[in-house]
Structure 1
Amino acid sequence: MSDSSLFDPSGHLVLIPSYNPGEKVFETLAAARAQWSPVWVVVDGSTDGTTERLLALAQTDPGLRVLVLPENQGKGAAILYGLLEAQKAGFTHVLTMDADGQHPAERIPDFMQQSRLAPEAMILGKPVFAADAPKLRVYGRQVSNTWANLETLWMGIGDSLFGFRVYPIEPLKKIMLRHRWMRRFDFDPEAVVRLCWAGVRPINVPTTVRYFTAEEGGVSHFNYLRDNLLLTGMHTRLFLGFLWRLPKLLVRRLFSRSG
């Protein structure tokens, strides 16, 4: 398939935040480019030598752009930087995916089509885990999902943590610029909760996910204590925001059901 046939004129691009991803980023990038153009990578202060190689690839691939942050700022910060640059370039939606190969690049066209059919919505991957997925990660995310659904009065968030998603740029940009703490690992659940509060409808699409072992080249920056503390703090402030918004959310839910 030619690169021109992959280009989408409706304003959608693939955005990949990348921090010390190892060799998997090149597999992820090749898989994404086989499905879509353009693809942008935001290098979040990587120190593993991948930055220079990514920049070199961008020199020979017109469908690839590499943006570089000089210091590690966090996943949310990398995505916000990409959002702002994408909107300046005229894009309206971004599909975010991780650089570590866990997300299925072959689903990119399907997610983009879902977004084109409902441009006002966010398209959320709902992970389908293989038998070898780490049980602690699989069961642990259920806690975040429960809180996210409570905080939105069950608007329909299938999974709060899975980062394979299509976001409409404008509402997410406005939210992130108002809330300066949406910059690190806990960005994903906070983004979907606050977008629900803003009236952005979630559409869930079941999606396979794969966890790679270190022997397979997998790289994980997840720190159980640090990142669970981040999630706890994030859901604490979201729950307080939920209580303040509860009357408005109740009215919205009543009208949506009656309609």
Structure 2
Amino acid sequence: MFRCIVLIPSYNSGALLRRTVASVLAVWPDIVVVTDGSTDGSDQTLEDMLPLHPGLKVLHLAHNGGKGQAVLHGAQWAMRAGYTHVLTMDADGQHPAQSVPDFISVAQRNPGSLVLGVPVFGPEAPALRVWGRKLSNLLIGMETHGAIEDCLFGFRVYPAKAMIAVLEASRFMRGFDFDPEVALCMVWQGVPALNKPAAVQYFNVEQGGISHFHYVRDNARLIFMHLRLLFTWVWRACCGKPPRSL
């Protein structure tokens, strides 16, 4: 039986966490929030919501392990609780809560597939962020024969069992490299990918916008990821074997 829960990893998301959770609760009752070693007290802003929403669950990780680690923890809990799929979205309000039911409906009709959001940017989107993702998408598109249109957008529905298997088999995909690599590896494992447009909104500092992306550290991590995956793809292709992650 198909059951989907919205999974929101959060690290020091401030007031945006409560706003994001409230916006999802307006359209979908089942949510698991994973606070990834947060120290700003943002998880406590959800306490009064828990008695009113039985489908809302908050999990706490003592130490910050990265987005991929938080998603893995939440997905493992979701599977134990009987959910078959997880829709991941960021805690910072950039992803469209109003599209949650539509994405889950697509996943229900295609339960063996990834449903990947393709961002539709507004005029407020930072040009550096928009153009910076083009190279990643070019490389991932080449390595998956165009199956993945956008590799960095975290608004997605995953078959939980397949995603957990990919994550548990790798020592990578625990930080900002999670979104591109997990999708690529699942496609390499034979999971079909469906690409669906979704609006994205960026908030400035005055609006409470928060970003934990470190341009030097995390871009270096992404470059290392692409070199590693490109090597894997080329080597396996030369050997006549299907690609697998390192």
Q: TM-score, normalised by structure 1?
A: 0.90
Per-residue CA deviations over 1:24-63 (Å, capped at 9, x if unaligned) read 1111000111111211100001011112222443243212
Match of 1:225 in 2: 216
**Is 1:17 aligned with 2:5?**
no
**Is 1:109 aligned with 2:96?**
no
**Is 1:183 aligned with 2:174?**
yes
Q: How does 1:236-251 map to 2 (within 5 A)?
A: 236-246=227-237, 247-249=240-242
Q: Displacement of 1:249 after TM fit? A: 4.6
More helix by share: 1
Letter in 2 for 1:125: G
1:89 to 74, 81, 99: 81
Q: What secondary structure sits across from 1:46 in the alignment? A: coil
Match of 2:195 in 1: 204
Match of 2:90 in 1: 98
Q: What secondary structure sits across from 1:41 in the alignment? A: strand
For the 8 Å contact 1:212–1:218, the answer to whether it is kept is: yes
Q: What secondary structure sits across from 1:128 in the alignment? A: strand
Q: How does 1:55-134 map to 2 (within 5 A)?
A: 55-134=47-126
Q: Displacement of 1:243 after TM fit? A: 1.9
Q: Displacement of 1:236 after TM fit? A: 1.2
1:148 to 127, 140, 144: 140
**Is 1:41 aligned with 2:33?**
yes
Letter in 2 for 1:167: Y
2:152 to 138, 148, 161: 161
Q: Which whole-Å CA distance do the structure 1 matches of 2:170 and 2:242 have between them? A: 20
Q: Which whole-Å CA distance do the structure 2 matches of 1:212 and 1:143 have between them? A: 24
Q: Which whole-Å CA distance do the structure 2 matches of 1:204 and 1:171 have between them? A: 18
Match of 1:4 in 2: none
Letter in 2 for 1:192: A
Q: Which whole-Å CA distance do the structure 2 matches of 1:233 and 1:212 have between them? A: 29
Q: What secondary structure sits across from 1:219 in the alignment? A: coil
Q: What secondary structure sits across from 2:25 in the alignment? A: helix
For the 8 Å contact 1:130–1:210, the answer to whether it is kept is: yes
Letter in 2 for 1:58: L
Q: Which whole-Å CA distance do the structure 1 matches of 2:206 and 2:45 have between them? A: 22
RMSD (CA atoms):
1.3
Q: TM-score, normalised by structure 2?
A: 0.95
Q: Which whole-Å CA distance do the structure 2 matches of 1:59 and 1:181 have between them? A: 37
Q: Which whole-Å CA distance do the structure 1 matches of 2:110 and 2:124 have between them? A: 34
Provide the identity percentage.
Answer: 48
Q: Displacement of 1:149 after TM fit? A: 1.1
Q: Which whole-Å CA distance do the structure 2 matches of 1:149 and 1:248 have between them? A: 19
Q: What secondary structure sits across from 2:233 in the alignment? A: helix
Q: What secondary structure sits across from 1:188 in the alignment? A: helix
Q: Which whole-Å CA distance do the structure 1 matches of 2:59 and 2:19 have between them? A: 18
Unaligned runs of 5+ in 1: 1-8, 251-259
